[in-house]
Amino acid sequence: MLKPHGQEQLLRFWGELDDAGRQQLARQIEAVDFEQIAALYEQRSETHDWAALARRASPPHAVRIADRIGKNADEGRRRGAEALAAGKVGVLLVAGGQGSRLGFAHAKGLFPIGPVSGASLLQIHFEKTLVTARRHGASVPLYMMTSPVTHDEQVAFLQEHDRFGISAEDVVLFCQGTMPAVDAASGKLLLAERDSLFLSPDGHGGTVAALSASGALPDMRRRGIEHLFYLQVDNPLAPIGDTEFIGDHLIADSDFTSMACAKQTPHDRLGNFARIDGRLHVIEYSDLPDDVAERRDASGSLVFWAGSVAIHIFRVAFIERMLALKDALPFHIARKKVPHVNDVGERVEPKKPNALKFERFIFDLLPHANNPLVVEYAEQEVFAPVKNAPGARRDTPEYVQRFMVGQHRDWLRAAGTRVADGVAVEISPRWALDAEGVAARADRPRSIDKTTYLNDAI
């Protein structure tokens, strides 16, 4: 099987493996599509000419913040609430990434991000989902994608915490696929150990195939789930169940609606929403040429203002349609440092990128979507991802906690509570889901002068 593909090196240590090692390696090798890997390796230097595409791109159709006031917002909220109450909306949480930049020893979902409580990312997302369901009096199932790297630990953690109050029936866990890494110079697959391939999760775009392989789609059909609110585990600000966002998606009759934040500078490290030849795309920041990124309109605003914050709503029927379309999601090829076992059995810890990894991205679904829509939100309301270890300029745990405290302080102040400057305050989703939830609490404190965690049993 390996010979026609020139990959016999994978069996170099076969003679010294025990039965379990042989079985593991054989299973992993059987699961690899060697033709696909060879084809991807061949394409490694073919790059999409994003520069040319970006030069003929135009900004996306979007609902801007200024449009989202008054009557239109009310209508959006009404439609969103209706869909939730009818049990048509599920949550899709992706938590399969390796979290390599953060350098946390566990799956990122376990990271204690709560600035006062130390609540984990998973606790926050699960409680938001639970409270959304309670608020609308319907079930809001949570579909959570793990990967072989993060599965066992997250399953055990959720079990230990009783899924943070969500019933077992309303949590559907499914594991995404993996892709091997290949040596950049030769295209040969790398071994992580003598009895194991180097495999990594196949990107958040792996969600589509994993939804299908796991049986989650029939589960959605059975329950009557028509739309999925997609978020990534690293963003505790993701406004799960935001009725206006869901409503805008429904009003536009969209297959795929994305949340955007206005970029602060032309070179913000966010994907850029752009319309190219009538279809909506996300152009990665590294692919957007400087002159295009810096383009401004007559009023001085950035033309490509819309940065992606990885929060979307998809129609379930759209995902099903995409499954029938082979290669709807292309692989992106990244040069990475991949530690491995070399031909003579030594461990190699590369100092420079030595390998190619293959990943799919969820936003590549966008060009296939009918009536795609972008909806603008203020960054401080919806987006602060935990990406980097302490010391980085942004997206560190401290940075995210500052956003969380800032948001909760704003909610309280807007509802009339006096919060002293510089005081850390955190609101559990169980106490209040959002600004509206805070305003509705009759037991809201009149003033807060010391570190406070507002929490509630449900």
The type of residue at 42 is E
Query: Is position 405 an interface residue for ligand UTP (rule: CB under 6 A)?
Result: no
CB 308 within 8 A of CB 260: yes
- Minimum CB distance to ligand UTP, residue 384 (Å): 13
User: x/- binding map, residues 218-247, to ligand UTP, per CB under 6 A?
Assistant: --------------xxx-------------
Query: Is position 100 an interface residue for ligand UTP (rule: CB under 6 A)?
Result: yes
- Using CA atoms, how far apart are residues 246 and 227, in angstroms rounded to an integer? 9
Query: Is position 387 an interface residue for ligand UTP (rule: CB under 6 A)?
Result: yes
Query: Is position 264 an interface residue for ligand UTP (rule: CB under 6 A)?
Result: no
Closest to ligand UTP by CB, 206 or 236: 206
- Minimum CB distance to ligand UTP, residue 344 (Å): 29
Closest to ligand UTP by CB, 96 or 180: 96
Query: Is position 332 an interface residue for ligand UTP (rule: CB under 6 A)?
Result: no
Question: Which of these ranges, 33-41, 97-105, 328-336, 399-407, lies near ligand UTP under the rule CB under 6 A?
Answer: 97-105
CB 283 within 8 A of CB 53: yes
- Minimum CB distance to ligand UTP, residue 357 (Å): 10
- Minimum CB distance to ligand UTP, residue 149 (Å): 9
Query: Is position 113 an interface residue for ligand UTP (rule: CB under 6 A)?
Result: no
Query: Is position 57 an interface residue for ligand UTP (rule: CB under 6 A)?
Result: no
Strand ranges of the sheet holding 355-359, from the earlier edge strand across to the other edge: 182-183, 355-359, 332-336
Query: Is position 216 an interface residue for ligand UTP (rule: CB under 6 A)?
Result: no
Question: Which of these ranges, 161-169, 201-209, 291-299, 314-322, lies near ligand UTP under the rule CB under 6 A?
Answer: 201-209
Total residues binding ligand UTP (CB under 6 A):
22
- Using CA atoms, how far apart are residues 306 and 303, in angstroms rounded to an integer? 8
**Residue of 321, 93, 91 whose CA lies nearest to 204:** 93
Query: Is position 204 an interface residue for ligand UTP (rule: CB under 6 A)?
Result: yes
CB 454 within 8 A of CB 431: yes
- Using CA atoms, how far apart are residues 285 and 268, in angstroms rounded to an integer? 7
| Number of Cβ within a 10 Å radius of residue 222 | 8
- Using CA atoms, how far apart are residues 369 and 372, in angstroms rounded to an integer? 6
Tokens linked to 216: 């989650």
- Using CA atoms, how far apart are residues 74 and 81, in angstroms rounded to an integer? 10
Distance from CA of residue 251 to its chain's centroid? Answer: 24
CB 253 within 8 A of CB 83: no
Query: Is position 96 an interface residue for ligand UTP (rule: CB under 6 A)?
Result: yes
For binding to ligand UTP (CB under 6 A), which residues are involved? Answer: 94-102, 108, 145, 147, 176, 201-204, 206, 232-234, 387
